[in-house]
Amino acid sequence: MRPFRNLSPHDLLDNDWYKFTMQFAMFSNGLSDTNVSFKFKDRKGAVKAFLTSYPSIPLNQVKEELAVLLNAYAALQFDERDVDFVVQELSKAVVAGKDTLLESYKSRLMATRSISIDLILSKEDGLGLEYTGSWFDTILFEVPFLAIISEYFNNHQPTPPSDESIRESIRDKMAQYTQSNAQVIEFGTRRRFSRHVHEIVFDAIVHEIGTSALTSNVLLSKQRGSSPKGTCAHEWFMFYEAAHRTSNLQVTRAGTISSLQKSLQDWLSVYSSIFALTDVFRTGTFFDAYALLSSELQARVQFRCDSGNELEYCGWIQDGFAKVYGNMLPAHALNKSIMFSNSLSPKKVAEIQAWHAAHAAKSGETQFSFIYGVGTNFTNDLQYDTLDIVIKIHRVEDKFAFKLSDVGSKFVGAEELKGPVHDAFADVA
């Protein structure tokens, strides 16, 4: 195994931008001290399979080394210059009046965090990880923890990919994206092969397209002189649904719609716009909440597609608009942006772009512009399989969080919630 790189305070910026924007939105809305927990999930059992493939690696050693890395990361303290960069970038995004909160936000970000990390490991069940604390203290750990876990196991691979093979891969992919006339942002922090690979990837993208290269990674943005880009995570909407539920197992569609409305209103009280994930509780449910927003807020909502059939997604948005507006769209609904981010590749993006070109909007219909957030296909599409791992918000105070998706009956959450969610949404497996 190759030794893991040394961690430094600057690693706290090695994170996706939307974790900071959510943190400031939560801080601005007085939600910082809500107690939450996050839970790791190995969706395809890759960690368990890895442990089976390398029986000579002592299990206790793996557990201890991972625990040391995660706890060491959690104990890092921000460098003030890095926090100044975050505050500077936030000041460009917040609405008038919210900038007055940035100094107090900075002070809290510089303070010591308190979280509890529970890690278990067995050959029978693989890796289990849950961490608990205030929402403010825990929100920044999801992406770095996933990146650390991914890099730790990749360090056991016999031969890392060569720098030139990475650059060649990016040259080929960027040529395809250019040919498709696609606007692409690099979103590959959480399941990257390693930090070194990530740096080579983004520098190769910069080499291909120059200053138009953008990334969600805050550290890379600071180091390369650009502004980080991001959207809004499932976590934001999942938190609100759980927090506004009257009791743990009392899930209702009406309550979910009300929580979605509140989550959108609170976000837009801080920022000028949102790329809203519509699939958290299904796109149809999202538009029931969207209909309750004022026209001024509706105009500031753009959309993000992270599940389901991308070629059908524009139709789902148009169906939602028809439900809200009938046959006469307001001016603000005639031009909307969609961010696609679900397991993208050059081939998949080319298909979406070709479909879009073949289905140009008619007069009076919504004209869509597309942006693509490409993650693992940039930073871990090499000679080894990618760990399909996630961390999701699991609990808000004493209530479990959950999410659905636009893929059939998919459900993510505590087993105890499956029944109540099925009763509320009818078709959850």
In the predicted model, what is the mean pLDDT of residues 50-63? 87
Whether pLDDT at 122 is above 60: yes
Distance CA 188, CA 214 (A): 12
Q: What is the pLDDT of residue 210?
A: 95
| Cβ neighbour number for residue 335 with a 10 Å cutoff | 12
In the predicted model, what is the mean pLDDT of residues 223-245? 97
pLDDT digits (tens, 9 = 90+) for 335-357: 999 999 999 999 999 999 999 88
Distance CA 354, CA 270 (A): 36
Whether pLDDT at 429 is above 50: no
Using pLDDT thresholds of 50, 70 and 90, give the confidence band for residue 427. low
Which helix (H) or strand (E) element contains residue 343? Answer: none
In the predicted model, what is the mean pLDDT of residues 293-298? 98
Can you give the pTM of this predicted structure?
0.96
Using pLDDT thresholds of 50, 70 and 90, give the confidence band for residue 30. very high
Using pLDDT thresholds of 50, 70 and 90, give the confidence band for residue 382. confident
Q: What is the pLDDT of residue 385?
A: 85
Distance CA 343, CA 376 (A): 7
> Among the listed ranges 153-157, 184-188, 280-284, 425-429, which one has the minimum average pLDDT value?
425-429
User: Contact, 102 vs 84, CB < 8 A?
Assistant: no
Q: What is the pLDDT of residue 411?
A: 87
CB-based contacts of 371: which residues, under 8 Å, 6+ apart?
183, 184, 185, 337, 338, 339, 340
The overall average pLDDT reported for the chain is 95
> Among the listed ranges 124-128, 186-190, 349-353, which one has the minimum average pLDDT value?
124-128
pLDDT digits (tens, 9 = 90+) for 128-175: 999 999 999 999 999 999 999 999 999 998 899 999 999 999 999 999
Q: What is the pLDDT of residue 255?
A: 97
Please provide residue 119's backbone torsions phi and psi, each rounded to the nearest 5 degrees: -120, 130
DSSP string, 371-406: EEEE-HHHHS-SSSPPP-EEEEEEEETTEE-EE--S
In the predicted model, what is the mean pLDDT of residues 264-286? 97
